[in-house]
Chain A
Amino acid sequence: MQTNHHKERLYKILVIGDLGVGKTSIIKRYVHHNFSPNYRATIGVDFALKVLNWDQETVRLQLWDIAGQERFGNMTRVYYREAMGAFIVFDVTRPASFEAVTKWKEDLDSKLTLTNGKHVATVLLANKCDQGRDVLTNNGIKMEQFCQENGFVGWYETSAKENINIDEAANCLVKHIIASEKDMLQSEVSDTITPQLEKDKGGTCSSCFRSQ
């Protein structure tokens, strides 16, 4: 996974969340730049590959689009392995899918930790924002608080249909993945590293928080 010398990075990214919140649509928009209201339900897992130019490096994102039905949980958890980042998606028109967000996050964190013991960078996506706003996402401060409490590095109101904030959210995630990778490398390289308490390496993104 660490192919820095080739100036090429490969990251596995999970896209999870309840059934029908638009995970596949978001990926289609991000990778293929189109939208169709006619996507078939995902059974198991689907894949997509996105190649980005990032500071004169090539970043390859392996997107794992995981079926949303809770019942598939046992079966799809194995796909969490070796992921470096995640999107958790909910549908702003279905509050129940937001309620499930904490479940998805807890599940993710319990199954997956980085080599330095930290959780993988996760961005929360409030999808279908073109279909009217939820009371909850209307309250930005509350949402930021929610992100901080639940260890999301950021959140975005997105619309795969109208192409809103998808690239921005992906860039935020990639930025945090690269930061956490550096962090991991540092902790591997020297044993006598000084603990960096609560230090935000991410930089400028205002809606980004570091978990722990």
Chain B
Amino acid sequence: MKHFDRDRCELKSHCCTSIITLSVAILFLIMSLFARRVKDNRPVEQRDPGWKLFGKVPPREGPIKDPKKVQKEYETKSGRGGPGNPTSPRQSVRKNLDFEPLSTTALILEDRPANLPAKPVEEAQKHRQQYEEMVAQAKKRELKEAQKRKKQLEDRCKLEESIGTAAQTWNQEILPNWSAMCTSRRVRDLWWQGIPPSVRGKVWSLAVGNELNITHELYHICLSRAKVKWKTTPASSAETETEDAGCSDRESSLELIKLDISRTFPQLCIFQQGGPYHDVLHSILGAYTCYRPDVGYVQGMSFIAAVLILNLDTADAFIAFANLLNKPCQMAFFRVDHSLMLTYFAAFEVFFEENLPKLFAHFKKNNLTPDIYLIDWIFTLYSKSLPLDLACRVWDVFCRDGEEFLFRTALGLLRLYQDVLTCMDFIHMAQFLTRLPDLIPAEQLFQHIATIHMTSRNRKWAQVLQALQKDHERGSPVLKH
């Protein structure tokens, strides 16, 4: 660029021009366009040391002109002295192109070559005005972006700091005194804010508990049984499978696990064949089919096991997995107890109508039943439909509050997207809810969840559920699908 600046100076003093300098100017334009695209903040002359096209221009040594100096020069030149001092048309700007202002300053100062007719005064002035607007806008934008970056950095630091202190609190105060503290107001509040990833697994384990009294030994026994089964069933058991196809699909659980593992968080690339957690996930799911052959493998389990694996050691993950699935709501779903599932949906609708009557009416009008979106959300405990970090936060409070929080989260999501949903028809709502946006604002979602009240006519979730179950046993038509 040096030589170009030099060239330009000479050009000004000698008032002569050549085709070469013109083409250099065009190249400069193109370059500055590139520079803008790349958002490179380095000085122009460093941007592309290998700018070979300039080889045509005889290289010259000369002082590098600071763009700011050029700008200043421009300002003094461009009639800041007042309207009585109109700039010569020869000093007009080239064209109104939206380039990085600093790098185009020099060009703005550029006169038209002598062999071309000069620009009229009005045009020159107009161009100058446009240029000034451009500069002002760019400055504003830069300032805004810098502020935004600063804010982001500050937020991140703050977040990291708060996670750090929270982890300390959990490790040093809460976990050692778990049974005494876990129900305290302070711990519950801290819990709501999200458990720090470093203690998440421990807290989940404690909160889920081990009602089933599963030991690490039992896990290993179940696993070795599963391994024996894998060996006895041929790898691609296509032929044999057809023979015992009638046996119930629980027997082919092992085959299904294989198919599903690679489809569990595929974007993380850790559960897939050859990935570091492929075998762990396979082991836990296989061991579970031996631990609970009556349940077997059901789709959705692979997601739950995967989230646990990410937070716990293998055997502890298995213990949490088996205990989690043993909870009434999970058992109802994973055993596909249809009537009980319908009871859950009906209870959900009671709170839906209570909390979001307008949206509820809109769903009813469009025949959008809750099973359409709840099945996926409940079966995978949101780990498939929400971003993983957000899903973990939902799990945090699910471990604290139990099944009702799963339905409360659903209502929070519906409340968060209430405005968009009310403008949609059936298919678009169904599509939206079965494939939620990639970016869901965590804080906002939790604020919406917080505003959902899980009481209906003074009855809590469990009471509503129980009442519906009784109704159902009496054969109420309410639950007819």
Contacts and interface: CB of A to CB of B under 8 A. Distances in A.
Interface of A: 19-20, 37-49, 62, 67, 69-72, 74-75, 78, 94-96, 99-100
A134 to B, nearest CB: 10
29 contacts: A20-B263, A38-B266, A38-B267, A40-B266, A41-B260, A41-B263, A43-B380, A44-B372, A44-B375, A44-B379, A44-B434, A45-B372, A45-B375, A45-B434, A49-B427, A49-B428, A49-B431, A69-B299, A71-B249, A71-B296, A72-B336, A75-B338, A75-B375, A78-B371, A95-B238, A95-B242, A96-B242, A99-B245, A100-B245
Given A69-B299, A75-B371, A43 B384 contact: yes
Contacts of A37: 266
Interface of B: 238-239, 241-242, 245, 249, 256, 259-260, 263-267, 296, 298-300, 302, 336, 338, 341, 371-372, 375-376, 379-380, 384, 427-428, 430-431, 434-435, 481
A34 B239 CA distance: 33
B15 to A, nearest CB: 59
A11 B300 CA distance: 29
B376 A43 contact: yes
A96 B241 contact: yes
A71 B384 contact: no
A19 B266 contact: no
A39 B272 CA distance: 12
Which 10 residue pairs of A and B lie closest in terms of their CB atoms, listed nearest first? A44-B375, A38-B266, A20-B259, A41-B263, A47-B430, A47-B431, A70-B249, A43-B376, A95-B238, A74-B338
Given A67-B299, A75-B336, A96 B238 contact: yes
A117 to B, nearest CB: 24
A185 B428 CA distance: 28
A196 B253 CA distance: 47
A47 B300 CA distance: 18
A44 B372 CA distance: 7
Given A43-B375, A78-B481, 8 more contacts: A37-B266, A39-B263, A40-B266, A45-B375, A45-B434, A47-B434, A49-B428, A100-B245
A133 B474 CA distance: 54
A78 B384 CA distance: 23
Contacts of A42: 299
Interface centre among A43, A62, A67, by most chain B C-beta atoms within 10 angstroms, is: A43
A55 to B, nearest CB: 23
Given A74-B336, A75-B336, A43 B242 contact: no
A99 B299 contact: no
A44 B428 CA distance: 17
A46 B430 CA distance: 8
B371 A44 contact: yes
A44 B238 CA distance: 25
A72 B427 contact: no
B298 A94 contact: no
A37 B273 CA distance: 13
A48 B427 CA distance: 8
B19 to A, nearest CB: 48
Contacts of B300: 41, 43
A152 to B, nearest CB: 20
A35 to B, nearest CB: 13
Interface centre among B241, B263, B264, B379, by most chain A C-beta atoms within 10 angstroms, is: B263
A48 B432 CA distance: 10
Contact of B427 (A43, A62, A94): A62
Nearest to B252: A96
B349 to A, nearest CB: 16
Contacts of B239: 95
Nearest to A12: B427
A44 to B, nearest CB: 3
Given A49-B428, A49-B431, A74-B338, A39 B375 contact: no
A96 B379 contact: no
A44 B300 CA distance: 10
B427 A69 contact: no
A44 B256 CA distance: 16
A79 to B, nearest CB: 8
Contacts of B296: 71
Contact of B266 (A39, A62, A94): A39
A99 B375 contact: no
Contacts of B267: 38
Contacts of A44: 371-372, 375-376, 379, 434
A43 B299 contact: yes
Nearest to A46: B434
Nearest to A78: B481
A71 B296 CA distance: 10
A41 B241 contact: no
Nearest to A95: B238
Interface centre among B296, B299, B300, B428, by most chain A C-beta atoms within 10 angstroms, is: B299
A71 B264 contact: no
B388 to A, nearest CB: 12
A36 B146 CA distance: 37
A20 B260 contact: yes
Nearest to A41: B263
B299 A19 contact: yes
A69 B379 contact: no
Nearest to B375: A44
Contact of B264 (A40, A48, A49, A75): A40
Contacts of A94: 238
Interface centre among B239, B336, B428, by most chain A C-beta atoms within 10 angstroms, is: B336
A81 B5 CA distance: 75
A75 B260 CA distance: 20
A10 to B, nearest CB: 9
Contact of B431 (A20, A48, A69, A99): A48
